[in-house]
Structure 1
């Protein structure tokens, strides 16, 4: 087997309501896992007006999400400087001196757990080149051409990239990444009771929290010891929740039905925050969802001739409004948690506006304005009429991923993640209260 083409565990990670939506074409999925793996392994997917095969869902389900109308714009010059200097200036290291980072979430943050969790790991498209080509030169299990936002966060903190928790020889002295691609906020059983099946992973948020609990139990034997050890740790609870919505959306469930699911998803995230606090976390970032109405695969699959359905970025308004319902409810929950836990710093991570900032500043940031909703890798331009997934035989990436926001129609390029991280850091740094807490101490 050519190791330059296929991921193997030994490769490591490269470093120690009525709505226009209801009028869109109805999409149904074949829910057989046999069919799912057939399309997964052979890279075949097709969508027509009546049917969405699970081969297409494989990318959708790994998404993770949906945000506010007005993009908060950084100055173009400072935006680029901040992104380019994440690894050299190390703002989190300078201000906060974090010595560990712990991550829960889905494929937005997964650095290699899903490909290790599944016996079919090496068969996933993102276990093959060109995934990972831009930084590592080989696939690592990350759903991008290179680094993810959590990688840039680690660089900003002066720490190594987070090892996936399932890496047998992983070095976990500076934190652990428990995120798994395709994971959901709600447990498998809860979703199945609603006739929602996740074909990718059963490692929901509660499962990841159990792994985290076991990890802490193995390195500190009492809560007090853990609390002391975690005083200078940073926790990410998410991004998570998008996969709870993706499959039912793509099956043609109504907007009302999906909106009714949001409180349960947010409550699951809220419970996770409480549990993380119980472990001893004192600084927690809780990301919201991306504007899924801007994600190429959604734009393509829910396209409509109604021009009023789109905003100035050619994003679907209804889908973005739905994402904002999730985000607003999440922010309200965080606000209440801050009152309940006044000694814990809990910060909302505005991934929604971080993504919109790319669209607003695309030209000055060097992105190709003609390819803002096209995938660098996969069927080009990305559409739902048929084609091949990125990472399947014969599929090549565009020659300049740094000119694209979208990598595979669902996940972003490392260049996009770098700029989104700079936007996020600009927002969260003052809220982390690192300097003030150090002075108080």
Structure 2
């Protein structure tokens, strides 16, 4: 019917391409780990309620058949009946088991590797235009093209989210156990063994309930502060602090563009497009930032130094007028991560525009965390928390708070870090007044 076709087009264009709102295993895993997004994800909450609650009363899976943009796109592409293939019954039976198998593997994977996202094995992230990564994009394209020849191909033979939603749908009014119910029970038992068989991290463990004293050290670098907390005794704190200060100062002196003698400053001052020899440390950092720039389509860019400086956050100082639109347009022509050419084997760095300059401020504090951690491990410490300018790195279990930018005396959230890193630092402290207006660091690149 025409009405259904119109509805499917609206689903694909509106809920899919425009809003990118689709139910997925990654969404459910995120809710399980971090709670429901009441304030920011109301649309997805409504879809989730539709998918999980409606089947209990109607015996129909409303979301899959009437509200999924990916399913709607498949149905539209499957309208060419002359192109349809008929799969042998044996193939249909075999391929039909794949969604449940994938669901089980995703369930166990999410328990075994808490940082892994099931979004990596589903195509739904491809609907978020400009942010799709390789695997979801390939899955989306293959699934949609397959639906031209095999109606609803991905829904039938590839969708683990659909397999999950089938567990809340009954085919009849009599609630009898089926093989899928026994399979689900078995997965839940295995999951319970995984969860309860591993040591849990509790706030009590993270706050030195073991009775071990905490040694705290402080210092300054990168225009901000650093703090190191170490649990335990039996070490010379003064000597260790001296080693940490030495390492932090070495990083700042070698890599910060605020230091005129650093290799970064040497590169920024080079008015040439010829390759310049650099040290291995800078080469590795630039290689890392280039990967970030490529992964974000240039949203992350270490060549924004001229723009940052123009807003008063560079070595030139803060007593500068706000740049005009013409000035910003001019500076943008000097910016671009693709204008950098790194030769790792030869340890050289070249810029295609001699005005190009680097600002490594976005990675140096996290890099300092890594270097301090390596130093502490070398000296036999394995239970510590490092904070450099808001960038956190924990070895062992530590309870940390995320500051509320609108209420510096309050906390937005308390979390437990165990052998993890966290970057909750923001821009709300980096402010200055210009022409009567408060400006925060971070102009768009």
Q: Same fold (TM over 0.5)?
A: no
* TM-score class, shorter: under 0.3
| Higher share of residues assigned strand | 2
Q: Which of structures 1 and 2 has the larger relative contact order (alpha carbons within 8 angstroms, sep 6+)? A: 1
Q: TM-score, normalised by structure 2?
A: 0.21
Q: TM-score, normalised by structure 1?
A: 0.21
Larger Rg computed on CA atoms: 2
